[in-house]
Amino acid sequence: MSDAHGPTIKCCTLQYWRKHWNDRKINFHEPIVNRTLEEQIPLVNAKHKIHKILVPLCGKSLDMLWMIDQGYHVVGVDGARQAVEEFFTDHGLEWTERDATSMGPGCRLLQTAPVYLQNMVNLYVPAENLDPVVKISSRFLAVDRLLNAERNIKLYYGGIDLFNRTVEGQFDFIWDRGGIVSLNREAVDGYVDTMKDLLCPGGSMLIESHDSVVFTEDGTDSPPPPYVMYENEFKSLFEPECTVYSIDRNLHPRAGRIFKNVYYLVTKMS
């Protein structure tokens, strides 16, 4: 299908989101770490030890940087190449890349480079040829790279419908912000089935949703995405394999819109 402005892209398909990244329409990206995530992770960890965290539809979220700095093993998945690549470039992280054959054709795994690779970059700089200012800044760069080397993260580039437990096994915790509420509606059931399968018994998924319509600052309703999803919808999607509780809510202004955020903690039966 097409119109005078070119082909019409169906809302919230992967093609739609790739176009958003290409056009730099990424207002959903937050410049700070999510407060509810910061509060909930220690509480969840106290009940069920968290080792591995999945961030489906991850974008280039800063939350992932915070979680790896807390010592968690983080795996993200996004179908926009820019998203996964910019996560590394934004934070000055070196990465290696290979085909993610266990996920599917065309999928790629981008992963922080091991320490020795990052050090090699510095070894090959002939320090005696550098002027003193560059020499000092390259030392800082070396220290920075060494610190970053501890930041171990894997980001998969590919459609979330292709991600399954053969790729990275199961996860203790899943963080979904701007994920399920931003997916094409036809993809939601399959996405939820995948998430339920990817959660370890006793593991939890924290979801940011929106209660009632998202409205603009002048008071008018704003169309999706994100979609409004209520508690009863989450219950019918996740029960009986999981319990669903709403645990936090707040009003959040962003990019000319006000979001009525509601957070759900979904826990898989042990």
Please identify, using beta-carbon distances, which residue of 210 and 268 lies nearer to ligand SAM: 210
Among 178, 215, 246, 248, the residue binding ligand SAM under the rule CB under 6 A is: 178
Q: Judge contact between 57 and 77, C-beta under 8 A.
A: yes
Please identify, using beta-carbon distances, which residue of 14 and 242 lies nearer to ligand SAM: 14
Write out the binding residues for ligand SAM, residues 49-78 only, by CB under 6 A.
Answer: 57-59, 61, 78
Please identify, using beta-carbon distances, which residue of 37 and 113 lies nearer to ligand SAM: 37
Give the interface size with ligand SAM as a residue count (CB under 6 A). 19
CB of 181 vs ligand SAM, minimal distance in Å: 8
Select the span of 96-104, 175-183, 195-203, 247-255 touching ligand SAM (CB under 6 A): 175-183
Single-letter amino acid code for the residue at 13: T
CB of 52 vs ligand SAM, minimal distance in Å: 18
125: β partners: none
Distances (CA, A) of 193 to 180, 189, 197, 203: 12, 6, 6, 15
Per the listing, tokens 């603009």 go with 216
Q: Judge contact between 206 and 176, C-beta under 8 A.
A: yes
Q: Judge contact between 260 and 249, C-beta under 8 A.
A: yes
If one counts every other C-beta atom within 10 angstroms of the C-beta of residue 106, the result is: 11
26: β partners: none
Q: Is 80 in the site for ligand SAM (CB under 6 A)?
A: yes
How many angstroms separate the CA atoms of 157 and 81, rounded? 6
> Site mask, ligand SAM, residues 8-37, x = CB under 6 A?
------x--x----------xx--------
Footprint of ligand SAM (CB under 6 A): 14, 17, 28-29, 57-59, 61, 78-80, 83, 159-160, 177-179, 182-183
